[in-house]
């Protein structure tokens, strides 16, 4: 599913870069949430929960190493950029004297620990009206971390319990994409036969992009809680496990997918840098190309060395298997 993850990150970059809009950035993030729900359910149920005592600590450590180093690096670069160029940054930096001590402490904690940035995202400064985040897209990381904290206690439940929870969350409009994604993993246990799974995988892989574009263009500025969007969420979650089964051994797919996180996190800083040095009329291709180059650099220089540490953590986890007996020999990479 690496290509899908990369495409979603790329859609967010396009959303922020100019007139070439395919789907809304927020819609792409909601799709990320569904993929995250599926993937966390899969690796917890097939690997971490079977690895003996302290598996939750290994899961949390691995997730922290995946999220925090890249985030802190981009946040530090952002601070350096703002101070060097005097480009308008968050009020936390520009108008810190106007913020109370308690509020400032809370903002510093949220911008370091990420947790709470989803609340900060909807709370603008009373000073200038600007946002209070060092890294703009990090509001979604806060929601991601909250899900990581709860996932070991939720996704290990029975299929029936997960189904009830999913329908309850859908009714309340809370975390519904993650719940649907987590529930979709269990479909692998109920669809026998590799031929059927491959067919479902190809249907999902070939259908998800045009459906996303159709839904995105149709409702790009509208409420995302629409029948068209619900149809897309359902299609995506029903086909996610089969898309994963189809593509999990595709080396190129995995390599492309590894760029999705650094691309998503670093692109606002790259866009601001290009606007500062070349003007806000810079062509959108320069913004996108610069973001891609920065993502590749972060992946090679930072993510790959950290991945070796995460690999040592995964050394204590026995190889995972999926699904029914005829599917059990198929192994899953734990990332």
- Evaluated on CA atoms 15, 79, 266, 134, the torsion sign reads negative
Could you report the per-residue pLDDT of 260-298, keeping only the tens digit for each?
999 999 999 999 999 988 888 888 889 999 999 999 999
- The mean pLDDT value of the chain amounts to 79
Q: Which of 70-79, 117-126, 185-194, 250-259 has the lowest mean pLDDT?
A: 117-126
104 belongs to a structural domain: no
Could you report the per-residue pLDDT of 82-136, keeping only the tens digit for each?
888 876 666 555 555 566 677 778 888 888 999 988 876 665 544 333 457 889 8
pLDDT at 51: 78
Q: Which of 18-22, 138-142, 246-250 has the lowest mean pLDDT?
A: 18-22
* 293-298: Cβ within 8 A, 24+ apart: 294/262, 294/266, 294/267, 294/269, 294/270, 295/259, 295/262, 295/263, 295/266, 295/267, 296/259, 296/262, 298/70, 298/73, 298/74, 298/262, 298/266
143 belongs to a structural domain: no
Q: How many residues does the chain have?
A: 335
96 belongs to a structural domain: no
205 belongs to a structural domain: yes
Highest mean predicted confidence (pLDDT) among 88-92, 122-126, 211-215, 234-238: 234-238
Band of the pLDDT at 176, cuts 50, 70, 90?
low
Per DSSP, the three-state class of 118 is: helix
Percent of the residues in the chain that have a pLDDT greater than 70, as a whole number: 77
139 belongs to a structural domain: no
- Evaluated on CA atoms 255, 261, 263, 266, the torsion sign reads negative
Report how far residue 155's alpha carbon sits from residue 184's, in angstroms, rounded to the nearest whole number. 11
Q: Which of 28, 56, 30 is nearest to 43 (CA)?
A: 56
Band of the pLDDT at 238, cuts 50, 70, 90?
confident
197 belongs to a structural domain: yes
Give the domain range for residue 192.
2-52+157-328
312 belongs to a structural domain: yes
How many independent structural domains does the chain possess?
Answer: 1
Report how far residue 244's alpha carbon sits from residue 247's, in angstroms, rounded to the nearest whole number. 5
pLDDT at 197: 84
Going from the C-alpha of 245 to that of each of 189, 202, 240, 333, the distances in angstroms are: 13, 10, 9, 11
Could you report the per-residue pLDDT of 45-57, keeping only the tens digit for each?
888 888 778 889 9
Could you report the per-residue pLDDT of 26-84, keeping only the tens digit for each?
888 888 888 998 999 899 988 888 877 888 998 999 999 999 999 999 999 998 988 88
pLDDT at 93: 56
């Amino acid at each position: 599913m690496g290509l899908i993850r990369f495409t979603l990150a790329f859609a967010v970059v396009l959303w922020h870069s100019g007139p070439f809009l395919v789907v809304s950035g927020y819609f792409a993030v909601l799709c990320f949430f569904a993929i995250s729900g599926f993937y966390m359910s899969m690796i917890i149920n097939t690997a971490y929960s079977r690895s003996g005592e302290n598996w939750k600590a290994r899961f949390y450590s691995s997730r922290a190493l995946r999220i925090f180093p890249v985030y802190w690096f981009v946040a530090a670069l952002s601070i350096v950029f703002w101070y060097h160029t005097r480009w308008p940054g968050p009020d936390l930096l520009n108008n810190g004297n106007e913020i109370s001590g308690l509020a400032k402490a809370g903002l510093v904690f949220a911008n370091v620990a990420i947790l709470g940035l989803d609340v900060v995202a909807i709370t603008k400064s009373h000073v200038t009206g600007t946002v209070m985040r060092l890294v703009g897209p990090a509001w979604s990381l806060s929601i991601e971390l909250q899900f990581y904290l709860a996932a070991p206690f939720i996704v290990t439940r029975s299929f029936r319990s997960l189904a009830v929870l999913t329908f309850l969350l859908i009714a309340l409009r809370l975390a519904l994409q993650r719940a649907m994604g987590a529930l979709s993993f269990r479909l692998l246990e109920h669809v026998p036969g590799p031929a059927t799974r491959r067919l479902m995988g190809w249907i999902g892989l070939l259908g998800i992009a045009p459906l996303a574009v159709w839904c995105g263009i149709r409702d790009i500025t509208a409420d995302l809680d629409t029948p068209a969007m619900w149809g897309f969420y359902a299609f995506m979650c029903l086909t996610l496990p089969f898309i994963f089964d189809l593509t999990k051994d595709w080396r190129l797919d995995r390599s492309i997918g590894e760029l999705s996180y650094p691309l998503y996190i670093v692109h606002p800083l790259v866009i601001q840098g290009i606007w500062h040095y070349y003007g806000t009329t810079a062509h959108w291709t320069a913004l996108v190309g610069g973001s891609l180059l920065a993502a590749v650099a972060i992946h090679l220089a930072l993510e790959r060395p950290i991945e070796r540490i995460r690999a040592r953590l995964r050394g204590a986890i026995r190889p995972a298997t999926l699904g029914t007996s005829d599917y059990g020999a198929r192994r899953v990479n734990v990332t």
